[in-house]
A and B are shown apart, each in its own frame.
Chain A
């Protein structure tokens, strides 16, 4: 696999660590706060940019799989450094049924907190975090920037969360 050459190496927050809280805009007058999702699993999907072909496929694919995510009672949040108007246009064009939040000001602050900001490129990595209902990172995965990671890893993580819940 080719290593990231354009930016300093990142170290994404590891499994077992609490996911840092954030409050980010999803529209010009609405915000989404991570802590509001306590009590259910959360999928955080960091992606480089609205409109770029792979991202489009990835977010569109996740939109298509929302019923399966909901079956696990999981919420999905997409995050990039794009501004809210860009997110609004993108979400409307692709008919996305989940929030895209804007890590726009200060740019990439949340991505940096999670260790998934590409400093040379000024965008987020293509990184997935699955949080348990207490907001702790249960699984994480960083893909090569041009590769759509699909959703199998997310579904496997949600299933293993349920197994843990059933045995605890």
Chain B
């Protein structure tokens, strides 16, 4: 009996939040949860990878909130999307990962204020869960791609099953970007 191949089933496209070159050597996709402490550690690693690899690397973040154990993770993901609707997804993304200890609804509104978002629009979108379907779509795309916990990385569409410290990911990214050696 063979495991289903653990590849990304939803290709990176216009729906995604992307940092970097549209025509990169390597695409790193992360499924993450804003309330997951391991994802908080991974955020630091990813920021460093983006600095190190520059235009060779394209980074994509998708939501995988495990609300069963992280009760604020779902609304936090919606908050990132609501900020994205006002052109500030990555600013909110960084804000959430650097304030993981306070992701309750009043804190989310406070962060939106600090980022200069249109607050009535932001709070109304959160209250009506306008972005919940998008968050769930990310989550299910992860489930269908074999995501079984967070953080979960895909390098050029293939699930990275090893450790996700800086050195391990940097080696895996470098290997994925290296030209195939001549025989």
Contacts and interface: CB of A to CB of B under 8 A. Distances in A.
Interface of A: 57-58, 60-61, 63-65, 68, 94-96, 140-142, 148-153, 155-156
B4 A60 contact: no
Interface in B50-99: 66-69
Contacts of B182: none
B144 A148 contact: no
B144 A155 contact: yes
Contacts of B171: none
Given A141-B1, A152-B4, A153-B4, A95 B148 contact: no
Given A57-B149, A61-B148, A141-B1, A150 B69 contact: no
A5 to B, nearest CB: 19
The listed residue with most A CB atoms (<10 A of its CB), out of B3, B66, B144, B147, is B3
Interface residues of B, number: 16
A60 B148 contact: no
Interface of B: 1, 3-4, 66-69, 139-140, 143-149
A72 to B, nearest CB: 13
Contact of B68 (A60, A141, A150): A60
B144 A61 contact: no
A150 B67 contact: no
A50 to B, nearest CB: 14
Contacts of A141: 1, 3
Given A61-B66, A63-B68, A152 B144 contact: yes
Nearest to A63: B68
A65 B149 CA distance: 13
Given A140-B1, A150-B147, A150-B148, 12 more contacts: A60-B66, A60-B68, A63-B68, A64-B68, A64-B139, A141-B1, A142-B1, A149-B148, A152-B146, A153-B4, A155-B143, A156-B4
A142 B66 CA distance: 24
B135 to A, nearest CB: 12
B146 A150 contact: yes
Nearest to B150: A57
B146 to A, nearest CB: 5
Given A64-B67, A64-B68, A156-B4, A58 B144 contact: no
